[in-house]
């Protein structure tokens, strides 16, 4: 077989390989998550080791303030001391 035919066959094989991909659909439908400020625990006023101290479950204003503070202090390179 000539190299041209071999290259054409390899290209055709590569193009046809994409036709065998399975669709990536969710069989259960859309799964809606809970609002992020509703907490991480399964009971009221519970959390995990990753829950900020002093934060109460369901406190949306405190949640948004914590995100603003974290973005300003942890992700803003202009406020960091090098």
* pTM score above 0.75: no
Compute CA distances 11 → 20, 65, 76, whole Å: 16, 55, 48
pLDDT on residue 46? 59
pLDDT 10s digits, 6-42: 888 888 888 887 777 777 777 777 777 778 887 766 5
As a whole number of angstroms, the distance between CA 66 and CA 71 comes to 8
């Amino acid at each position: 077989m000539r190299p041209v035919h071999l290259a054409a066959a390899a290209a055709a094989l590569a193009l046809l390989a994409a036709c065998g991909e399975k669709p990536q659909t969710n069989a259960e439908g859309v799964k809606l998550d809970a609002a992020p400020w509703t907490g991480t625990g399964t009971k009221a006023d519970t959390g995990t080791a990753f829950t900020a101290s002093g934060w109460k479950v369901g406190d949306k204003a405190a949640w948004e303030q914590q995100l603003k503070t974290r973005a300003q202090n942890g992700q803003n390179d202009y406020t960091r001391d090098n």
